[in-house]
Structure 1
Amino acid sequence: MQMFRDRVDAGRALGQRLRVLLGGGGDLLVLALPRGGVPVGFEVARILGVPLDVFMVRKLGTPGHEELAMGAIATGGVTVLNGSVVRRLGIPQSAIAAAAERETRELARREHLFREGRPPARVEGRTVVLVDDGLATGSTMRAALRALRQQKPARIVVGVPVGAPETCAEFEREADAVVCVHTPAPFYAVGQWFEDFTQTTDDEVRELLARAAQEEGAAPVAP
């Protein structure tokens, strides 16, 4: 498959696919998972002509191997564990609880930082497009989806530019609809499908959310 140039390019490709599925405008809302999902979600929201907000999720890193997710937490106090990782490595409950407490504090700090006083978008009764820059194991997206269900949206659509085939298939059983633009096999990591996968910064997230708030109500951008 052709690689995406960067998250902006990926967001435009995803936005085009979602516009075919959903149209635009109406009572739609894009919720992006920070940080990498925000530049993707920004382009999606512009193409659909709908509001953009963040949905806070934090990975729970495995002790000693922080890059490996043993689970994730999301706004609303939802925790999703990767049972296979926890069992295989024999991770004790005390380590899980300590990681969850630490990441809950960081989640609250980042939510305050990113929103800059703006209240969370209304979710109840709306069709929500939950966006990230890719799906590997899916633990972060799964935590977000389950937490979002508690806010009673009418429909949840999971959207990513690239994902592991088996993970995208799993989400078809959990979400109301799933759009994975590319599902390459074999799949090793999200970043390998981007020419530029530079880490998104907090400042970039704040800037994009502020721009989205200013542009809210503007006409959809032609893909």
Structure 2
Amino acid sequence: MFATRSEAGDRLAAELEGRGVEADVVLGIPRGALPVARPVADALEADLDVVVARKLGAPNNPELALGAVASDGSVWYNDALIDRLDVSDDYLEEIRAEEAQNAREKADRYRDSPGLPDLEGERVLVVDDGVATGATATACLRQVRAADADYVGLAVPVGSPQSVADLEAEADEVIALETPENFRAVGQFYREFGQVTDEEAIAYLEGLGGRS
């Protein structure tokens, strides 16, 4: 159990330092990851930026993730779920294009220039406040991999055991402080888990954030 995202970030930073993890760039998945990623970036003396992905919601059930798409169009599909729901190719392409545009617009709110920073040859650590289905994390990791990063890691305070295991195929290293068997949602492992606003997220990026 974590008190706040910032406290989780402090604990995650200590674990990464203890393991000797090195990173040139830490990328938080907005908005909830920024309070976690800030102390991680500070501890590793790394630049902090964002990587953005959007969930692809199922027809008539937008909270059910058919996959996710990153701001550069990198996409991951849950093929088994898509087959089970008999989702059409036309729907998938429509929702992919719509959410890719939403992801690009969201990313543009957080940085002055479009697209990721230059990650070629860099050691990059993607940070989130937790992993449930792993859909958005997968799309983000694929975007970073496509940017020719030398090392692509993922660090989270808590995650579903199955999703964390699945993500090991997408990253060079996955570090999760807790992978509880009773995992239902990320928020159940935080005493405080309110929404992080755009303004708060930007403040964390600029090193001015509080203790969310």
Taking structure 1 as the reference length, the TM-score comes to 0.87
Distance 1:101 1:210 in 2: 30
Amino acid at match of 2:3: R
SS in 2 for 1:156: strand
Instruction: Show the counterpart of 1:190.
Output: 186
For 2:4 and 2:128, locate their aligned partners in 1 and report how far apart those are by CA, in whole Å: 13
Q: Name the structure 1 match of 2:38.
A: 42
Choose from 14, 17, 20 the match for 1:19.
17
Report the 3-state secondary structure (helix = DSSP H, G, I; strand = E; otherwise coil) of the residue aligned with 2:38: helix
Identity %: 37
Indicate the residue corresponding to 2:97 in structure 1: 101
Q: Which ranges of structure 1 fall in alignment gaps of 5 or more residues?
A: 213-223
Structure 1 residue matching 2:163: 3-state secondary structure: helix
**Rounded Cα–Cα distance in structure 2 between residues aligned with 1:10 and 1:154:** 27
Residue 30, structure 1, aligned to residue 40, structure 2: no
Give the deviation of 1:153 after TM superposition.
1.0
Could you list the per-position Cα deviations for residues 68-97 of structure 1 after superposition, in whole angstroms to 9, with x for gaps in the alignment? 111101132211111122122111112211
Structure 1 residues 79-158: aligned runs within 5 Å: 79-117=75-113, 120-158=116-154
| Displacement of 1:161 | 0.3
Q: Look up the match of 1:164.
A: 160
Q: Are positions 1:202 and 2:201 aligned together?
A: no
CA contact (8 A) 2:107 2:115 kept: no
Write the letter of the residue equivalent to 1:195. R
TM-score by length of 2: 0.91
Specify the code of the residue in structure 2 equivalent to 1:63. Answer: P
Post-superposition offset of 1:114: 1.0
Q: Could you say which structure has the greater relative contact order, defined with CA pairs below 8 angstroms and 6 or more residues apart?
A: 1
Corresponding residue for 1:217? none
Q: 2:72 aligns with which of 72, 76, 83?
A: 76
Runs ≥4 in structure 1, deviation > 3 angstroms?
116-120
- Seen in structure 2, the aligned counterparts of structure 1 residues 57 and 207 have a Cα distance that, compared at 3 Å, is same
CA contact (8 A) 2:108 2:114 kept: no
Which amino acid in the other structure matches residue 14 of structure 2?
A: Q
Name the SS of the counterpart of 2:196 in structure 1.
coil
Give CA-to-partner distance per residue, 1:21-61, whole Å, 9 cap, x none: 2355xx62101111111111112111222110001111111
Runs of 5+ unmatched residues, structure 2: none
- The 1:112/1:173 distance shift into structure 2, 3 A limit, reads closer
CA offsets per residue over residues 127-155 of structure 1, 9 Å max, x none?
Answer: 11111111111111111111211111111
Query: How far apart are residue 190 of structure 1 and its match?
Result: 0.8
Q: What is the CA RMSD across the aligned residues, in angstroms?
A: 1.7
Q: Distance in 2 between matches of 1:200 and 1:61?
A: 22
Supply the distance in 2 between the matched residues of 1:70 and 1:52 (Cα, whole angstroms): 29
SS of alignment partner, residue 211 of structure 1: coil
Q: How many residues align?
A: 208
> SS of 1:124's equivalent?
coil
Kept in 1: contact 2:72–2:100 (CA 8 A): no
